[in-house]
């Protein structure tokens, strides 16, 4: 995730970190060159396309804007919902740490429970990003990680493990029924946050929307130079490139936001959010917490 102060006017045009421009440069330069070729052909053959001008493109542009607006709104909603779910997860981890420190007197059991909560966060990050988070989770639970990595859903295995721990404490009389219920409710909220994240990760936007948008954008940019060639002349490549930047830039951005758990510049900073949970856990235990992950060139991973 990119976090930086608002750039100045001149600096604004040269920022690449977090921009979608590098991804769409082929479309920008390709349609600019195509626009120049159309102008050459129209002038060489003295083609006349009548009095329609750019009016048909204005109508098509309105339709394309509706497609872009819908897809970008849907993609941003997914991104924002994912951020709210991870914010809720941070809240639930802190609540679990606060409640367990007051209810569990056995230091070993208390630390084991909270270390499993920290490992859960990394397992969930690995599941959502489709990366191996075993090394990070091993830092908190050691060799006990072997049973979790063999499960089909490692984060869920950690929740079950935490549930089994507090159930054992209740059976042993270390916590009463009310204390067990309090801790179990915290685990239920953590499981709900995981399910919400899995729902977003496992349900992409309908492919038909993407296909319709990209087809229309390409058709629009392919026909636009013919409407501009007579009126705009050699400025046609510039206008075509600007339109391509707008349409394909918005499409690329919505595609990036559609999967908010990835590692692209505008995706969520799951590493940083896991570190926030680690800090909360260690502070609840009265131990020295790790430092917050610093941004690298305005980018939080």
Residue 225 confidence (pLDDT) above 70: yes
**What would the pLDDT profile of 246-286 be if each residue is shown by its tens digit?**
888 888 888 888 999 988 888 899 999 999 999 999 999 99
Quick check: helix, strand or coil at residue 296? strand
Buried b (16+ CB within 10 A) or exposed e, 132-166: ebbebbbebbeebbeebeeeeebbbbbbebbbebb
In a domain? residue 9: no
> 3-class SS at 299?
strand
164 compared with 227, residue with greater pLDDT: 164
Classify residue 7: in a domain, yes or no.
no
For the chain, what is the domain count?
1
pLDDT score of 138 more than 70: yes
Contact between residue 268 and residue 1 where contact means Cβ atoms under 8 Å apart: yes
Asked whether the beta carbons of 298 and 289 are under 8 A apart, the reply is no
> Long-range contact list for 92-96, CB < 8 A, 24+ apart?
92/186, 92/189, 92/190, 92/193, 93/117, 93/118, 93/121, 93/190, 93/277, 93/280, 93/281, 94/280, 94/284, 95/186, 95/189, 96/183, 96/186, 96/187, 96/190
Residues in CB range of 218: below 8 A, 6 or more apart: none
Share of the chain above pLDDT 90, in %: 50
> Is residue 67 included in any domain, yes or no?
yes
pLDDT for 56-68, tens place per residue? 777 777 777 887 8
For residue 144, name the pLDDT band (cuts at 50, 70, 90): confident
Q: Across the chain, which distance is largest between two alpha carbons, in Å?
A: 93
Tell me: pLDDT of 50 over 90.
Answer: no
Q: How many whole angstroms separate alpha carbon 289 and alpha carbon 284?
A: 9
The per-residue pLDDT for 139 is 92
pTM, two decimals, is 0.88
DSSP output for 154-179: HHHHHHHHHHHHHHHHHHTTSS-HHH
Does the residue 297 lie in any domain? no
Q: Is 83 part of any domain? A: yes
Q: Of 120, 106, 143, nearest to 281 (Cα)?
A: 120
For residue 272, how many C-alpha atoms fall within 13 Å in the half-sphere facing its CB? 18
* CA–CA gap between residue 34 and residue 160 (Å, rounded): 59
pLDDT at 177: 93
pLDDT digits (tens, 9 = 90+) for 72-121: 899 999 999 999 999 999 999 999 999 999 999 999 999 999 999 999 99
Position 122 pLDDT exceeds 90: yes
Beta bridge partners of 296: 299
Q: Is 23 domain-assigned?
A: no
Q: Which residues contact 271 (CB under 8 A, 6 or more apart)?
A: 125, 293, 300, 301
HSE at residue 20, side-chain half, CA atoms within 13 A, is 19
In this structure, which long-range contacts are made by residues 168-172, counting pairs with CB atoms below 8 Å and at least 24 apart in sequence?
A: 169/104, 169/106, 169/109
Identify the top-confidence range among 9-18, 20-29, 155-164, 208-217.
155-164
Task: Give yes or no for residue 300 having a pLDDT over 90.
Answer: no
Domain-located, residue 300? no
Does residue 13 belong to any structural domain of this protein? no
Chain mean pLDDT for the chain: 87
Domain span at 134: 28-284
């Amino acid at each position: 995730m990119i976090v930086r102060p608002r750039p100045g006017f001149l600096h604004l045009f040269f920022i690449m970190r977090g921009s979608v421009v590098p991804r769409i440069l082929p479309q920008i330069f390709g349609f600019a060159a195509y626009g120049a070729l159309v102008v050459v052909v129209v002038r060489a053959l003295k083609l006349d396309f009548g009095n329609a001008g750019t009016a048909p493109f204005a109508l098509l542009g309105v339709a394309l804007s509706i497609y872009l607006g819908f897809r970008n709104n849907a993609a941003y909603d997914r991104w924002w919902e994912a951020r709210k779910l991870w914010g809720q997860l941070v809240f639930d981890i802190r609540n679990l740490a606060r409640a367990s420190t007051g209810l569990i007197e056995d230091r070993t059991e208390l630390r084991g429970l909270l270390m499993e909560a920290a490992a859960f966060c990394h397992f969930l990050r690995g599941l959502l990003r489709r990366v191996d988070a075993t090394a990070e989770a091993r830092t908190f639970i050691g060799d006990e990680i072997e049973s979790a990595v063999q499960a089909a859903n490692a984060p869920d295995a950690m929740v079950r493990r935490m549930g089994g721990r507090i159930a054992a404490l209740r059976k042993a009389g270390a916590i009463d029924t009310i204390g067990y219920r309090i801790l179990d409710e915290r685990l239920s909220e953590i499981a709900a946050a995981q399910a919400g994240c899995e729902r977003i990760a496992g349900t992409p936007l309908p492919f038909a929307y993407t296909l319709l948008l990209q087809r229309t954008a390409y058709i629009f940019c392919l026909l636009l130079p013919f409407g501009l060639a007579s009126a705009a002349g050699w400025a046609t490549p510039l206008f075509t490139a600007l339109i391509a930047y707008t349409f394909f830039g918005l499409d690329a951005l919505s595609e990036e936001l559609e999967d908010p758990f990835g590692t692209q510049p505008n995706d969520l900073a799951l590493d940083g959010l896991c570190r926030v949970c680690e800090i909360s856990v260690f502070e609840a235990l009265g131990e020295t917490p790790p430092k917050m992950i610093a941004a690298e060139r305005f980018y939080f991973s």
